[in-house]
Amino acid sequence: MHGSHTTGSPYAPHTEEDRSAMLEAVGAESVDDLFDIPDAVEFDGEFGIDARSERETRRLVRTILGRNDDLTELLGRGHYGYYVPSLVDHLADRSEFLTSYTQYQPEISQGFLQALFEYQSLLVELTGLEVANCSMYDAATALGEAATLAERVRDTSGHRVLVPDLLLEGRRSTLENYVAGTDLEVEEYPTDDANVDLAALEELVDEECVMVYAENPTVRGTIEEGLESVGDLASDHDALFVLGSDPVALSLLQRPADVGADVVVGDASVLGLPTSYGMGLGLFATTDDYLRQVPGRLVGASEDATDRRAFTLTLQTREQHIRRERATSNICTNQAWVALRTAMHAAYLGPNGMVDLAERGVTRAEDLAERLDDLVGVKAPVHDRHHLREFVARVDQPAPAIADDLEKRGFAVHVVGDHELQVCVAGVPDERIDPFVAAFREVIR
């Protein structure tokens, strides 16, 4: 039917006759007449981008991305490559999910709203907090939003935000940008063997402090042992306790509500997204106390005209389209489709599968650390702690050289110090562990 296209957008169905008829209907000679652009700013150049067929475009992208090496990634530090079941891809890619937008018309969007409601409910169970929003961009921006929430709800004169010295640079820097327009100042507290240094934190927390942030597990894969004390310290000084975590960790580790967390942030796409060069899903949960200060969209239950339960975006007076410069956040487009994927992946695993996945993250990390520790010139794990998914190993030789050599043998690990590597087992198939240990043995020889 539309084979007459030679140029133009392949996604506009118009025939030449259609165009003529339409121009006639609007009383214009040509499409140019419809543009009201002064000559002085009209663009008469070219972008110099050649059009391609679909097949050629696919080949182009495949060729470019073909320059990525195939490596077995033993990488984590905030972004994880768990196996995502086929169910998630096939169902999330149904075009009703993929091609709809924000549910401004809830009556025709019940399916997405329900999926997001179920996602929020998942987070409520995992965190023990009453309110979860239906997504922020990623863990770093969720942390930034937590800080601005702390500033709004704490009416002390305080301005200090305490974060661990281990905090990922990307999260720290994003947080700094989010608080740049406030009086808040970000300060580090020390860690002790990759756990909060409680004594040092106690010295630092005072009435000027609006927020204390900790992560579980830490970026070095260690599981925190003193979270209740952190929660107590924060609440004693009327500061918010913000805890960073993720759905896999939360399936097994202490429930945030039980350690006094006021806000939980983190990357929820640990479930639902495969490795995606850092693309994520900002988890954001908090207590009922701060309901009206929550950033982002919330899905709630209500009733329709037939009195049946129905879902809708709610409490929108917090949001930018209504509250403008007084909104709780500037977020509009969010990560809803990733939240859908996360909910699907969690539902696929079920509670048994989620707990099991987390427990295997503990045992597989411990097992691999033990095997590396057996090698001459390696100590693993460096920290005398329990670990989830990943751990730091000390190597006698320079770490960058070892990482390079491992890469030549097909394995990617993190370099986190002159003599420190970090190794993550999340998503690494069991059958790749033996070859990795063998390669490690070779490169440290």
Ligand X SMILES: Cc1ncc(COP(=O)(O)O)c(C=O)c1O
* Rounded-to-integer distance, Cα 49 and Cα 314, Å: 44
- Binding to another protein (CB under 8 A) within 355-384 occurs at 355-356, 359, 362-363, 366
Does residue 36 touch another protein according to CB under 8 A? yes
* Shortest reach from residue 344's CB to ligand X, in Å: 24
Residues that bind ligand X (rule: CB under 6 A) add up to a total of 2
Does residue 99 touch another protein according to CB under 8 A? yes
- Binding to another protein (CB under 8 A) within 292-331 occurs at 297-306, 308-312, 314-315, 317, 319-327, 329-331
Nearer to ligand X, 6 or 333 (CB): 333
* Partner whose binding site includes residue 83, from another protein, ligand X, none (CB under 5 to 8 Å by kind): none
CA distance from start to end of the chain: 67
Q: How many CB atoms lie within 10 A of CB 292?
A: 12
Residue 144: name the closest of 168, 179, 170, 185 by CA. 179
Does residue 170 touch another protein according to CB under 8 A? yes
> Is 43 exposed, middle or buried, given 0-12, 13-18 or 19+ CB atoms closer than 10 A?
exposed
* Partner whose binding site includes residue 394, from ligand X, another protein, none (CB under 5 to 8 Å by kind): none
**Which amino acid appears at position 373 of this protein?**
D
* Partner whose binding site includes residue 185, from ligand X, another protein, none (CB under 5 to 8 Å by kind): none
* Shortest reach from residue 102's CB to ligand X, in Å: 8
- Binding to ligand X (CB under 6 A) within 332-361 occurs at 332-333
Residue 146: name the closest of 244, 235, 242 by CA. 242
* Rounded-to-integer distance, Cα 35 and Cα 20, Å: 17
* Partner whose binding site includes residue 431, from another protein, ligand X, none (CB under 5 to 8 Å by kind): none
Does residue 63 touch ligand X according to CB under 6 A? no
310: CB partners within 8 A, 6+ apart: 106, 107, 110, 301, 302, 303, 304
Structure tokens at 154: 């704490």
* Rounded-to-integer distance, Cα 158 and Cα 202, Å: 16
* Shortest reach from residue 122's CB to another protein, in Å: 7
- Binding to another protein (CB under 8 A) within 184-203 occurs at none
Which residues sit at the interface with ligand X, rule CB under 6 A? Answer: 332-333
